[in-house]
């Protein structure tokens, strides 16, 4: 999975003119520390590893109860089967149901009041476009991430993933691209955005927003 993870040395923060004003060296992310990896890639890798160890796997089962004491942790499956173990790991994401069992009450999601318009697709779609070649300079080696911050807390991110094999763009407001059109940094944007597959969903996960706070094509972060 390491070879399929992202490998960015730093996040570059730039103004709309493309001037670098800050670097985040992403302490804690690196070989032996932590990794940024696509959730599907991670899940598939864990699945294949579990199969190689002859771990019993089951799908379509609901955890309907949980309790623990000093000696064991126990889950109730489908309201009837009791499974005991030394440890239970809850890894069901931002909308975790497991989390509710730990404190014993429902933790309500809170809106960040930000929306994210984004897309991720294969860097192969940029091959042959001379204006997009800067995004392919380190394919197979490491990733790049550049965040352009504008006034009014609007921002644009251009990045690569999986060691340059994927291209990602992201804006925090639907009008960000229009507001950047007259800025020097915008020259890099069309070469990426125009290759976004038309069928590519822009909303990559369910929103953590109050009803009515989100428009079609955006996802809350």
| Known active-site residue 99 | no
Distance (Å, rounded) from C-alpha 216 to C-alpha 199? Answer: 14
* Backbone torsion region of residue 153, taken as left when φ is above 0, otherwise alpha when ψ lies between -120 and 50, otherwise beta: left
Classified as helix, coil or strand, 203 is coil
Q: What is the DSSP letter of 135?
A: G
Report phi then psi at 99, rounded to 5.
-55, -35
Distance (Å, rounded) from C-alpha 125 to C-alpha 64? Answer: 45
Q: Which helix (H) or strand (E) is 85 found in, with range?
A: strand 81-85
Catalytic one of 29, 58, 82, 148: 148
| Known active-site residue 39 | no
Catalytic one of 101, 118, 146, 163: 118
Catalytically active residues are 118, 148
């Amino acid at each position: 999975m390491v070879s399929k993870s992202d490998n960015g040395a730093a996040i570059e923060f730039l103004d709309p003119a493309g001037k670098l004003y800050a670097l985040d060296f992403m302490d804690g992310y690196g070989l032996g520390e932590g990794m940024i990896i696509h959730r599907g890639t991670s899940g598939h890798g864990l699945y294949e590893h579990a199969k190689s160890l002859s771990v019993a796997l089951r799908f379509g089962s609901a955890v309907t109860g949980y309790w623990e004491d000093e000696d064991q942790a126990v889950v109730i499956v489908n309201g009837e089967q009791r499974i005991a173990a030394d440890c239970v790991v809850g890894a069901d994401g931002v909308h975790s149901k497991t989390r509710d069992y730990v404190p014993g009450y429902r933790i309500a999601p809170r809106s960040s009041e930000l929306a994210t318009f984004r897309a991720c697709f294969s860097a192969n779609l940029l091959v042959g476009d001379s204006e997009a070649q800067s995004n392919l300079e380190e394919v197979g080696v490491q990733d790049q991430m550049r965040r352009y911050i504008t006034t009014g807390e609007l921002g644009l991110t251009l990045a690569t993933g999986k060691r340059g094999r994927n291209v990602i763009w992201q804006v925090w407001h639907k009008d960000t691209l229009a507001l950047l059109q007259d800025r020097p940094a915008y020259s890099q944007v069309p070469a990426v955005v125009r290759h976004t597959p038309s069928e590519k969903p822009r909303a990559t996960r369910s929103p953590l927003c109050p009803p009515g706070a989100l428009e079609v094509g955006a996802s809350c972060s």
